[in-house]
Structures are given as structure tokens and as C-alpha cells.
């Protein structure tokens, strides 16, 4: 009995081999297409994605996942949903298992957490401000009565009390404004109104060094909220005074420059005080490097400028200061 394969059987075997090879190629192409599609899909996702093998090795990841490779090394693969800090950023980590692989995602929630924290801090600060406002008002009323009756040699003490009360009232006003939001009630006004109110406010501000104040002398018309604009200029001038107080020089200078295009007023405020240390905190609420700061001055200044259709920025150059614009 012969074991030889007939030509017909050989042909059938060869045809079957070709068919198996074609099916393998088609399956491989389908797999490669599927993998490519998955790669494209996860690349469009706004968060970092990793698909992980059972041994913890990365099977697939998007570009954000690659960029956060060091974050991936710190992930807890056995937990499903949790938050973590990495390089001063907050991340929401989600994990899901499918068959033999695990899908991990990391979403940057730093801005969301910052807003939540600011809202909480703003509510607490507003509550405290309301509680403080009434007794402060009573003390202010008593000191205004006391200064009329006190001996001449004791008046400087009462004046210092009034200056301290003025500072507290500014903090309360700024805190309540931050919690409620800035809303500008615009009207036509003159520069001299702001200048006189600013000079009066400086009189209530305590400082020890001789400081030269150079403000625009020419009068011009603006369109805005007088109270908000006085607060805006006061914030910058008071910040400048504090910077000069910390400087080694025995005296200082604060200068406000003004230009107008007819549609927009541009102001530059310069001072000779110490340099700004943490520029990234400039417009961050409740963050201040000053001993006398509450971390709201520049935040509110930015909001006031924006409510008047303007922009604000740090002046980059030889002189230290800020530049902001106001729409007319």
C-alpha cells in the first residue's frame, strides 16, 4: 500500500496553505488597523492614557502618557479612582480592568481644584469680613470722636489707630469684592477726581521713608467706575510704597505715566522699591510675598482693568512697574 500523496491532494494542501496564509495576513492587517485606530483614538483624548499588561509593562500609551512617564511610575495600579499631587499639579487617576489588560488615565484637575479652593476661601473670608466689619465701624466712629477731644500731644496715636483701621477696612472691602465679583458702574469722570482721592488715600497709609509721588498733572476725561479706579490706583501705589519700605535706599520714588490714543488710556506705574520675587504669583488670589499683603490686591486690579475693557501686564525693562490700559 503506497503512502505517496497524489497530485490532486498536493494541490489541495498547497491551496489550503495559501488560504491559511491569506487569512493570517488579513487577520494581522485587521489587528494592525485596530491597534492603529486605538492609538489614534487615545491620542485625541485630553488626558494621559496607558494600557498596561498584567506585569505592569506599558502595552500602549498616548503622547501625554509618554510626557508623564515619571507620573506613571508613581501610580498605584491596584486602586481604581483617586487623586494625587505630582510636580505641584493635581491629577485624577482612573483605572479599569478589561480581560488581561488595565486601562489607566490621568486628568490634570489643578485648575478645577484651584477654583474650588478659591471659592471655599472666598466664602470663609467673606463671612469673616462681615463679622469684622461692624466692630471696626464702631471703632472708627469712636476714634473720629476721640480725635476731637484728645490732647494735642496724643493726636498722633489716634491718627495711627485711624490708619490701621483704614487698612483693615481696605482688606474687608477687597475681600467682599473678591467674593462677589467686580462689576463696573461706568460714568464720565475726570482724572483729577482719581488723583485727589488717591492722594487722600496715601495720607491714611503708614510708611516711614520719604517718598516722592509723581502723578500726571494734566487733566483728562475717562469713562469708568470712580470707586473701582481709585482702588486700582491705590493698590499699585500701596504695593509700591511697601516695596520701597523694604528697599535699602533711604528714600523712594513712585511715578505714574499716562498716554492716550483717544480710545484707550494707558498707564504705567513705576517705583524704586525691591524687585518682584515670585512673578508667577502676581495675579494669584491669596498668595503674597509681602508681610503687609493679603494676596488680593493684584487679583482685584486685574479684574477691575478687565471690567473696563483693558489689559494689565508687568513692565519688562530697566524700570520696575506695571502697565495697564482702560477703554474710554
The CATH code of the domain that includes 149 is 1.10.287
d(CA 246, CA 56): 54
> What percent of the chain is modeled with pLDDT above 90?
20
Q: What's the domain count of the chain?
A: 3
Give me the DSSP letters along 212-239: EEE---S--EEEE-HHHHHHHHHHHHHH
- Check which CATH number belongs to the domain holding 226 and give it: 3.30.565.10
> Which one of 159, 181, 203 terminates a domain?
181
Containing domain of residue 98, as a range? Answer: 7-110
Q: Answer whether residue 295 is part of any domain.
A: yes
Q: Of 24-33, 148-157, 175-184, 196-205, which one has max mean pLDDT?
A: 196-205
Same domain for 147 and 97: no
The confidence band for 219, taking pLDDT boundaries of 50, 70 and 90, is very high
Instruction: Say what the pLDDT of residue 1 is.
Output: 47
| Domain co-membership, 44 together with 115 | no
Tell me, what's the pLDDT at 2?
53
Q: Which of 89, 110, 131 is the last residue of a domain?
A: 110
Block residue for cell numbers 488615565: 105
Do residue 58 and residue 47 come from a single domain? Answer: yes
Q: Which of 226, 233, 231, 234 is nearest to 187 (CA)?
A: 226
Dump pLDDT digits (tens) for 89-114: 899 988 888 778 888 888 888 888 87
Q: Look at residue 109 in the predicted model and tell me its pLDDT.
A: 87
132 assigned to some structural domain: yes
Q: Are 207 and 314 contained in the same domain?
A: yes
Pair 63, 187 in one domain: no
Considering the domain architecture, whether residues 161 and 214 belong to the same structural domain is answered as no
Decide: pTM greater than 0.75: no
* Residue 1 counted as domain residue: no
Comparing CA positions, the residue from 206, 202, 213, 209 lying closest to residue 251 is 209
Q: 107-110 — which CB contacts under 8 Å span 24+ positions?
A: 107/46, 107/47, 107/48, 108/47, 109/83
Q: Are residues 251 and 161 in the same domain?
A: no
11 and 41 within one domain: yes
Residues 191 and 310 in one domain: yes
Predicted confidence band of residue 145 (pLDDT cuts 50, 70, 90): confident
CATH, residue 38: 3.30.450
Query: Domain boundary at 80, 110, 140, which?
Result: 110
* Element at 280 (helix H, strand E): none
Mean pLDDT of 162-173: 77
Residues 6+ apart with CB under 8 A from 26: none
Q: Is residue 2 part of a domain?
A: no
Same domain, yes or no: 165 and 139: yes
When pLDDT is cut at 50, 70 and 90, the band that residue 121 belongs to is low
Residue 173 covered by a domain: yes
Residues 105 and 119 in one domain: no
Based on the domain organization, do 174 and 245 belong to the same domain? Answer: no
Amino acid at each position: 500500500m503506497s503512502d505517496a500523496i497524489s497530485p490532486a491532494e498536493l494541490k489541495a494542501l498547497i491551496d489550503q496553505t495559501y488560504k491559511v496564509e491569506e487569512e493570517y495576513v488579513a487577520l494581522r492587517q485587521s489587528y494592525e488597523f485596530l491597534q492603529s485606530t486605538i492609538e489614534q483614538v487615545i491620542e485625541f483624548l485630553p488626558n494621559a492614557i496607558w494600557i498596561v499588561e498584567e506585569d505592569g509593562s506599558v502595552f500602549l500609551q498616548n503622547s501625554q502618557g509618554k510626557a508623564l512617564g515619571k507620573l506613571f511610575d508613581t501610580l498605584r495600579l491596584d486602586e481604581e479612582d483617586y487623586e494625587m499631587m505630582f510636580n505641584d499639579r493635581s491629577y485624577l487617576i482612573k483605572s479599569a480592568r478589561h480581560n488581561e489588560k488595565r486601562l489607566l488615565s490621568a486628568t490634570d484637575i489643578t485648575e478645577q481644584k484651584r477654583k474650588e479652593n478659591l471659592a471655599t476661601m472666598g466664602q470663609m473670608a467673606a463671612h469673616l469680613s462681615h463679622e469684622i466689619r461692624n466692630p471696626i465701624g464702631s471703632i472708627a466712629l469712636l476714634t473720629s470722636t476721640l480725635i476731637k477731644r484728645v490732647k494735642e500731644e496724643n493726636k498722633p496715636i489716634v491718627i495711627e489707630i485711624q490708619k490701621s483701621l483704614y487698612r483693615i477696612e481696605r482688606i474687608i472691602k477687597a475681600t467682599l469684592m473678591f467674593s462677589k465679583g467686580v462689576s463696573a458702574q461706568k460714568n464720565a469722570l475726570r482724572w483729577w477726581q482719581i488723583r485727589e482721592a488717591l492722594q487722600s488715600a496715601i495720607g491714611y497709609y503708614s510708611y516711614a521713608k520719604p517718598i516722592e509721588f509723581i502723578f500726571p498733572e494734566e487733566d483728562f476725561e475717562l469713562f469708568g467706575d470712580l470707586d473701582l479706579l481709585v482702588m486700582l490706583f491705590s493698590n499699585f501705589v500701596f504695593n509700591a510704597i511697601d516695596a520701597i519700605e523694604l528697599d535699602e535706599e533711604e528714600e523712594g520714588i513712585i511715578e505714574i505715566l499716562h498716554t492716550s490714543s483717544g480710545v484707550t488710556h494707558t498707564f504705567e506705574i513705576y517705583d524704586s522699591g525691591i524687585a518682584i520675587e515670585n512673578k508667577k504669583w502676581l495675579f494669584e488670589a491669596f498668595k503674597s510675598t509681602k508681610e503687609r499683603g493679603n494676596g488680593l490686591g493684584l487679583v482685584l486690579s486685574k479684574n477691575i482693568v478687565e471690567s473696563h475693557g483693558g489689559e494689565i501686564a508687568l513692565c519688562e525693562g530697566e524700570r520696575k512697574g506695571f502697565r495697564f490700559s482702560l477703554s474710554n
